[in-house]
């Protein structure tokens, strides 16, 4: 099919067609790597028309309802294709209209023959929504690798994506292997690849004919051999209607798997540490409760209650971290749990005090989380104890604002207000001020009006 379409174009020599035919395998590899539609277009005798001679469609994310090999690409729909034909330069992120009348973006690279003539272009197509993903994947795996002679092109493609590539002919014998594949197989005790049969080079018992007939069964496997863990893919591509060939893509994922195992062990270790810290803090809180029951002085009982609440606010942070096993935590999540526990266990049920948390959702480090939890605990505790002392109802609001360098937490109540200057020497405000300035590297601001409520804001470095 591909050769026939190249001949219909009437602009290519037999050697040009051979290059285009070999490029179809590269297009298939790129389509698989990027999970996008990749085309080979060749010029025709008409200067404003090109022909799609090959279409490599991804298995899931194709922008097309069918293979469009044999269809015409027009200049007014795909201007970048003709720009590359005429200048020999790549064209990146150009808008185009497909044969199915959809708007897409195109990334186009020229393919040259021995006379340095552009005989074909490779087109990678993606939607506007896929642009960011394409930029990331393209820059990582395929940027700037598709210009030059076909032999060097193969090496540059396969070396750039850092995978082992072996190409087999229609009879199942290896005709090409890149350096990555050669080095890997040498480590496995196979000194030579080219000329070997597929059965000798594949990692499981499988006949070449079975791969051709049922490609999905063998498309991707994880194989463990000696000390290696490999991700193995079999890609079947059509040379023409009757002939298919297989490309073996081998990725050494040994280090990735080792890292995953180490990460799992580290995660379990972190969980255990946080779990033990939480248990120890709860034990301390329990001892203080016992001490509180033995104390008769009301002021001492109050101090012990405040101390218990501070300890438990830290314990909540470690409890959440013990569940996740990572060293970051959602700020909104921890404040919600902290306030729910506090209001449930410490607020007079006869008073109808509402609380609400809103704002941005983002994660902070465990150290920051501990300090933020302590600060918020002190402020909420102060609000519920003093702001509504002469009232039966009230409201406490917490707003979280994410900034570029500093983020902010704003806690407001609609209570009786306070005289800020008189309260600056209280233990609670001393703790808050110290944590905000020394631990969080932020600033503290307190505003209050009689019978209008109090607002306390503090920020912390991201």
pLDDT tens for the chain, 462 residues: list them.
889 999 999 899 998 898 898 888 888 888 887 788 999 999 999 999 999 999 999 888 889 999 999 999 999 999 999 999 998 888 888 999 998 899 999 988 888 887 778 899 999 998 888 877 776 665 444 443 343 333 444 554 444 456 788 888 888 888 888 888 898 898 888 888 888 888 888 888 888 888 887 767 767 788 888 888 888 888 777 655 666 778 888 888 888 888 888 877 777 777 777 778 888 888 888 888 888 888 888 888 888 888 888 888 888 888 877 777 677 888 898 888 888 888 877 777 777 888 889 999 998 888 888 889 889 988 888 888 887 877 888 889 999 999 888 999 999 998 888 876 665 556 778 888 888 988 888 899 988 888 888 999 999 987
What global pTM score does this model have?
0.47
Q: Are 166 and 208 in contact (CB under 8 A)?
A: no
CATH 3.40.30.10: does it fit domain 329-462? no
How many Cα atoms are found within 13 Å in the side-chain-facing hemisphere of 266?
8
Domain 1-148 -> CATH class: alpha beta
Q: At CB < 8 A and 24+ separation, what contacts does 124-131 make?
A: 124/30, 124/34, 124/36, 124/37, 124/38, 125/36, 125/37, 125/38, 125/39, 125/63, 125/96, 125/98, 126/34, 126/36, 126/37, 126/63, 127/63, 127/103, 128/103, 130/36, 130/61, 131/93, 131/105
CATH 2.40.30.10: does it fit domain 162-252? no
Sheet holding 244-252, edge to edge: 174-177, 164-168, 244-252, 228-238, 220-225
Ranges of each domain in the chain: 1-148, 162-252, 254-326, 329-462
Q: Reduce the DSSP state of residue 265 to 3 states and report it.
A: helix
From start to end of 139-270, where are the E strands?
A: 164-168, 174-177, 220-225, 228-238, 244-252
**Cα-based angle 316, 319, 321 (whole degrees, multiple of 5):** 110
Phi-psi region of 184 (alpha: psi -120 to 50; beta: other; left: phi over 0): alpha
Q: Reduce the DSSP state of residue 194 to 3 states and report it.
A: coil
Same fold yes or no, 1-148 and 329-462? no
Q: Given this model, what pLDDT does residue 54 score?
A: 95
Q: Given this model, what pLDDT does residue 161 score?
A: 55
Other Cβ atoms less than 10 A from the Cβ of 101: the count is: 7
Looking up tokens 């379990």 gives 268
Instruction: Give CA–CA dist 25/158, Å, rounded.
Output: 12
For residue 409, give the nearest of 367, 357, 448, 355 by alpha carbon. 357
């Amino acid at each position: 099919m591909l050769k026939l379409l190249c001949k219909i174009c009437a602009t290519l020599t037999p050697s040009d067609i051979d290059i285009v035919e070999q490029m179809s395998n590269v297009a298939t590899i790129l389509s698989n790597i990027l999970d996008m539609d990749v085309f080979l277009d060749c010029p025709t005798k008409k200067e404003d028309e090109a022909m799609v001679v090959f279409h490599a469609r991804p298995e899931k994310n194709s922008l097309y309802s069918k293979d469009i090999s044999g269809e015409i690409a027009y200049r007014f729909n795909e201007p970048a294709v003709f720009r590359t034909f005429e200048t020999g330069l790549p064209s990146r992120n150009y808008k185009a209209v497909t044969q199915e009348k959809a708007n897409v973006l195109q990334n186009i690279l020229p393919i040259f023959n021995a006379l340095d003539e552009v005989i074909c272009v490779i087109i990678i197509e993606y939607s506007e929504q896929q642009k960011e993903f394409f930029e990331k994947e393209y820059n990582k795996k395929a940027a700037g690798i598709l210009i030059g002679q076909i032999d060097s092109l193969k090496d540059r493609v396969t070396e750039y994506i850092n995978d082992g590539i072996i190409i087999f002919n229609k009879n199942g014998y290896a005709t090409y292997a890149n350096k990555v594949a050669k080095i890997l197989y040498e480590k496995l005790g196979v000194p030579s690849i080219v000329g070997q049969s597929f059965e000798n080079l594949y990692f499981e018992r499988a006949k070449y004919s079975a791969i051709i007939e049922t490609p999905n069964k063998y498309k991707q496997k994880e194989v463990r051999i000696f000390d290696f863990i490999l991700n193995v893919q079999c890609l079947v591509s059509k040379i023409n209607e009757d002939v298919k060939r297989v490309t073996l893509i081998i990725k050494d994922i040994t280090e990735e798997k080792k890292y995953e195992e180490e990460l799992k062990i580290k995660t379990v270790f972190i969980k255990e540490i946080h779990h033990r810290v939480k248990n120890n803090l709860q034990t301390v809180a329990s001892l203080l409760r016992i001490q509180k029951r033995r104390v008769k002085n009301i002021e001492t009982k109050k101090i012990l209650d405040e101390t218990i609440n501070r300890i438990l606010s830290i314990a909540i942070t470690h409890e959440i971290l013990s569940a996740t096993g990572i060293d970051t935590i959602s700020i909104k999540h921890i404040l919600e749990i902290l306030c729910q526990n506090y209001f449930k266990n410490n607020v007079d049920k006869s008073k109808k005090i509402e609380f609400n948390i809103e704002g941005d959702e983002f994660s902070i480090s465990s150290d920051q989380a501990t300090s933020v939890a302590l600060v918020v605990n002190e402020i909420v505790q102060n609000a519920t104890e003093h702001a509504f002392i002469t009232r039966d109802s009230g409201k406490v609001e917490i707003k979280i604002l994410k900034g570029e360098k500093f983020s902010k937490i704003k806690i407001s109540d609609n209570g009786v207000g306070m005289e800020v200057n008189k309260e600056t020497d209280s233990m609670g405000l001393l703790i808050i001020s110290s944590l905000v300035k020394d631990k969080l590297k932020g600033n503290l601001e307190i505003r209050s009006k009689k019978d209008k409520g109090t607002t306390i804001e503090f920020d912390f470095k991201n």
